[in-house]
Amino acid sequence: MTDAALARCFSCGALVPDIVGPTHEYMLSSPGCWQCYGELLAMEYEPSFYNPNIHRITVDSYAVSHPGTPERRAIQSVNVHLVSLYCVFEQRLPGKQATKIIKALVDDSEITKRLSWLAPPDFSEAMVVTDVLRAGNREDHERLVTAWGQSLWNAWKERHLPTIESTAAPLLRALHRSG
């Protein structure tokens, strides 16, 4: 965090530094929010913090709370990251398995061409990136990331569970077949 004044991210609602700076091309956010996400990733890549199962949830949570606008890349991104959260929070798969599933998803053009825009829910009850940045140690970090992911999954699943479920179903069947 810098000493800049704070402003709300227009997408996720986090109170973030009010700065001018880069943002992602289609996971649209306020620049201060993108900066906070960069800080969070830097923390997660520290060897003492790195846990691929938790990192999976971090990347998905940021993506689905910054869905952008209905264009091809954003449509695919939101669907893919929601399938991952579905695998983690509904199917109780480890993040590493969810990563396998979404790799198979993006490689399957028969599935990706059928993906459609999922209208974003209200994020006002969900946690935000700055909640997670408060973690003082690894245990705290993992607890907060998991709660962040769960809160966003809860917001999305209310409207879109059947769609996500049907996108994920053939991929889960293939995963189970391959052991």
Footprint of Zn ion on this chain (CB under 5 A)? 9, 11-12, 14, 29, 33
Cβ closest to Zn ion, residue 61 vs residue 146:
61
Name the minimum Å distance from CB 100 to Zn ion: 28
Report in angstroms how near the CB of residue 128 gets to Zn ion at its nearest: 7
Q: Which amino acid is at 139?
A: E
Between residues 8 and 143, which has the closer beta carbon with respect to Zn ion? 8
CA distance linking residue 94 with residue 158, whole number of Å: 23
Closest distance between Zn ion and the C-beta of residue 18, in Å?
13
Q: Is residue 169 within 8 Å of 104, Cβ to Cβ?
A: no
52, 97 in Cβ contact below 8 A? Answer: no
Q: Using the minimum distance from each CB to Zn ion, give the nearer residue, 80 or 129.
A: 129
Q: Which is nearer to Zn ion, 28 or 104 (CB)?
A: 28
CB of 38 to Zn ion, least distance (A): 12
Of residues 33 and 171, the one with the C-beta less far from Zn ion = 33
Q: How far apart are CA 86 and CA 157, in angstroms?
A: 8
Q: 79 exposed, middle or buried (CB, 10 Å; 0-12, 13-18, 19+)?
A: buried
CB of 1 to Zn ion, least distance (A): 14
Contact between 68 and 26 under an 8 Å Cβ cutoff? The reply is: yes
Tell me how far apart the alpha carbons of residues 81 and 121 are, in angstroms, rounded to a whole number: 15
